[in-house]
Structure 1
Amino acid sequence: MDLARASQSVNQVRKLLRAERQSGFAFDIPPRRRLELYRRGFLSASGVLYDFESNDPADYLTDYQRFVATKRINGHWNASIDNKLAFHWMLGEFPAHRPVVYGLLTNGRFHAFDPAAGRAALTDGGLGLERPSEAATGKPTERPIDWVDDTLSEGDRLVLKWFRGGGGNTVHFLERADGEYLFDGVPTVESVLGEMLADLEDYLVCKFVEQADYADELLADTANTIRVLTMYDHLAGEAFIPMAIHRIGTRDSAPVDNFSSGGLSAPIDRETGRLGTAAEYPRHGTVGWHETHPETGARIEGTSIPGWEEIRDRLLEIAETFSFAPYIGWDLVVTGEGEFRIIGANSYPDVASLQVHRPLLTDARTRRFYRDHGVV
């Protein structure tokens, strides 16, 4: 193992241990059982999330494998996938499936992007970004609050997200409603908002993506996204989907829909696009299961994603153009029948919200992919 790979492994083990410190001891698990989970490579949360009584633990991708081994699959392309701005520009070939990014907040300034620019030069080391010229952007940099005042109209919404990171912890929402600004739903006077925006470092400013009616009916307070895991099968020369889930927000998770923040995870039938029973993160010691939304009463189980076949097939086409990065977790917002926007991606996606429904390694093709990449 070379030094760079060894350093990466050590760093990922630290993240694994940090995850256990942050959430593991919230679960009432006997010490002996907890040590057994550690020995098998699982965090404490997995001992509650996964059905080890009905399924063989060996059929689950372990937390150690996810944190340490899957991180190696995409090699140096990890940096480009996990950098939200870089990945946005990598999707330049698919403008209909990426959101609008207006610019970047950094050093107390708003830096505008030229919508006609956003080109990317791919190199052996990853992504080389071409910076638009000052002439192309007109006004390349200004105070964030000045840009917001000039741009945000009544009823408009923006998404502010840190250029790295996931889990919804570094995402904010800004809108103008009834003549005032709302920052994460809280009325905020202009002077305070200006200070808050100036303090955001390396945050992308994006147009809010409006979700389709079916997703709005589940819960209108959050963007209810789809997480699709894709793998590229080098033998078959094609991408495939081992599992996909629909995240659904709750009032606890709002304004995001993340599973570990209190959102729901419903499995998607990969052939039909029909949702199954939704799982709720076991904050009180056991996984909750819901056929309907616990707050809105909207039907979850049996709900079909409009135009799922078109969405699935188009995403697979996109994944195949990224065959050099064979392992990606995609985050989609369905905007209409057969239409979607890719709002994010992850190079070594969390699998808890997937495997709460079934273990990944029971599928032979999925197991072979992980084996071929040295994960299992």
Structure 2
Amino acid sequence: MVYDFDTYDPSLYLDDYQRYVRTGRINDHWSALIDNKLAFHEVLGKFASHRSTVHGLLKNGWFHAFDSSETTEIASDGGIKLERPTDSTVSRPTRDPIDWLDETLSDGEQLVLKWFSGGGGNNVHFLERTDGSYLYDGEPLTDNELARTLADLQDYLVCEFVEQDEYAAKLYSDTVNTLRVITMYDERAQEAFIPIAVQRIGTSDSAPVDNFSKGGLSAEVDRETGTLGPGAQYYRRDSVEWHDTHPETGSRIEGTTVPGWDEIRAKLLEIANELSYMPYVGWDIVVTGDGEFKIIEGNSQTGVTALQVHRPLLADERARRFYRRHDVV
């Protein structure tokens, strides 16, 4: 119902057994570092300009602070600057979450709350401050209601809300529309490559996330030009529907180009080469400007339906060789 068996032989598609059972072995022990969102955030420390900020963790009703970007010079010795964070949360790393929010979040700003593990757009919430009050997934809550809600969020990361580039907002403004890019490390060539990339686009069915499995659209990104093809949608339907324009907003999908795709592709491959011991990663990235992006998270056992709705992964000889090398096929 999803894959095009009229055009492609079914054997060219990575099947569910291969995806759920065998691809999980590719990264071996390092899968745990990728799938733990906080651990993967730390792995990306060398590429801090391309990772989103994780402010802290909600656990047992408390907020445990992490990142602080504000520093002040306190001494200099031999030309070496010594700095310390100026954020008050550093001296008080464990806080009441409402107190931290009141001090940190300005009117009109948002945060993303997501469980440290898992995917598919599950266990993701959005918190916004507006007119001095808070909206949780768009619903207004009193401070007491919010405190009880946050107390129930065990091991949830408190992350920055990454503002997407204008091209992505035009596609559908009620969700952050991410790129899912797969990288594979070719040991023979000693370089990473991208077998497929898609632009995910939200709808009223999928909001507040953009996931294909929740009703969002998936448009393949041309790996050379960064140009989008038509958007596929399969949710509560008998077959895949294809859209040149967004079915709700009318915004153009097919023919839209990811701004600065060449730079994005090159930088992502540079990062994948640095992390060659993690040879198989599904990257979720937000394009923030021309050639600029932030990594939201990685996936060691990426879903393939939103990818293979466009074409089978095993039809790409280099990808097939990679999967064969890792005993997936």
TM-score range, shorter-chain basis? over 0.9
Residues 1:63 and 2:16 aligned together: yes
Counterparts of 1:318 and 1:94, CA distance in 2: 8
Give the match for residue 52 of structure 2. Answer: 99
Which portions of structure 1, spanning 4 or more consecutive aligned residues, are displaced by more than 4 angstroms? Answer: none
Give the match for residue 12 of structure 1. Answer: none
Alignment of 1:328-347 (within 5 A): 328-347=281-300
Give the match for residue 180 of structure 1. Answer: 133
CA RMSD of aligned residues (A): 1.6
Over 3 Å counting, the alpha-carbon distance change for 1:301 and 1:315 in structure 2 is same
Counterparts of 2:156 and 2:237, CA distance in 1: 34
> Does structure 2 conserve the Cα–Cα contact (< 8 Å) formed by 1:114 and 1:136?
no
SS in structure 2 at match of 1:175? strand
Residues 1:190 and 2:143 aligned together: yes
- Which residues of structure 2 form unaligned runs of 5+? 71-84
Residues 331-372 of structure 1 show CA distances to partners (whole Å, capped at 9, x for unaligned) of: 000000000000011001000000000001111111000001
Residues 1:320 and 2:273 aligned together: yes
Residues 1:265 and 2:218 aligned together: yes
Residues 1:215 and 2:168 aligned together: yes
- Could you tell which deviates more after superposition, 277-286 or 266-275? 277-286
Counterparts of 1:114 and 1:342, CA distance in 2: 16
Counterparts of 1:54 and 1:217, CA distance in 2: 32
Find the partner of 2:177 among 201, 204, 224. 224
SS in structure 2 at match of 1:49? coil
Counterparts of 2:133 and 2:94, CA distance in 1: 24
Query: What TM-score does the superposition give when structure 1 sets the normalisation length?
Result: 0.82
> Does structure 1 conserve the Cα–Cα contact (< 8 Å) formed by 2:183 and 2:281?
yes
SS in structure 2 at match of 1:206? strand
Find the partner of 2:238 among 258, 270, 285. 285
Counterparts of 1:348 and 1:206, CA distance in 2: 22
Give the match for residue 298 of structure 1. Answer: 251
- Which residues of structure 1 form unaligned runs of 5+? 1-47, 118-131
> Does structure 2 conserve the Cα–Cα contact (< 8 Å) formed by 1:229 and 1:241?
yes
Residues 1:149 and 2:102 aligned together: yes
Find the partner of 2:301 among 348, 352, 359. 348
Residues 1:311 and 2:225 aligned together: no
> Does structure 2 conserve the Cα–Cα contact (< 8 Å) formed by 1:250 and 1:264?
yes
SS in structure 1 at match of 2:127? strand
Find the partner of 2:196 among 243, 258, 261. 243
Give the match for residue 139 of structure 1. Answer: 92
Give the match for residue 368 of structure 1. Answer: 321
Counterparts of 2:67 and 2:224, CA distance in 1: 39
Residues 194-245 of structure 1 show CA distances to partners (whole Å, capped at 9, x for unaligned) of: 1101111000101100000000111110000000000000000000000000
Find the partner of 2:155 among 196, 202, 219. 202
Query: Aligned-pair distance for 1:116?
Result: 6.3
Find the partner of 1:111 among 59, 64, 67. 64
Query: Aligned-pair distance for 1:54?
Result: 1.7
Query: Aligned-pair distance for 1:115?
Result: 2.8
> Does structure 1 conserve the Cα–Cα contact (< 8 Å) formed by 2:53 and 2:67?
no
Residues 1:88 and 2:41 aligned together: yes
Counterparts of 2:32 and 2:165, CA distance in 1: 31
SS in structure 1 at match of 2:242? strand
Give the match for residue 163 of structure 1. Answer: 116
Query: Aligned-pair distance for 1:150?
Result: 1.4
Give the match for residue 82 of structure 2. Answer: none
> Does structure 1 conserve the Cα–Cα contact (< 8 Å) formed by 2:58 and 2:157?
yes
Counterparts of 2:69 and 2:171, CA distance in 1: 35
Query: Aligned-pair distance for 1:93?
Result: 0.2
Counterparts of 1:283 and 1:183, CA distance in 2: 27
Counterparts of 1:258 and 1:64, CA distance in 2: 22
Percent identical pairs in the alignment equals: 65
Aligned residues: 314
- Could you tell which deviates more after superposition, 176-185 or 348-357? 176-185
Query: Aligned-pair distance for 1:189?
Result: 1.3
Counterparts of 1:285 and 1:61, CA distance in 2: 21
Residues 239-270 of structure 1 show CA distances to partners (whole Å, capped at 9, x for unaligned) of: 00000000000011000000010000000000
Give 1 or 2: higher helix fraction: 1
Counterparts of 2:53 and 2:91, CA distance in 1: 18
Counterparts of 1:329 and 1:250, CA distance in 2: 22
Query: What TM-score does the superposition give when structure 2 sets the normalisation length?
Result: 0.93
Aligned residue identity for 1:71: G
Give 1 or 2: higher strand fraction: 2
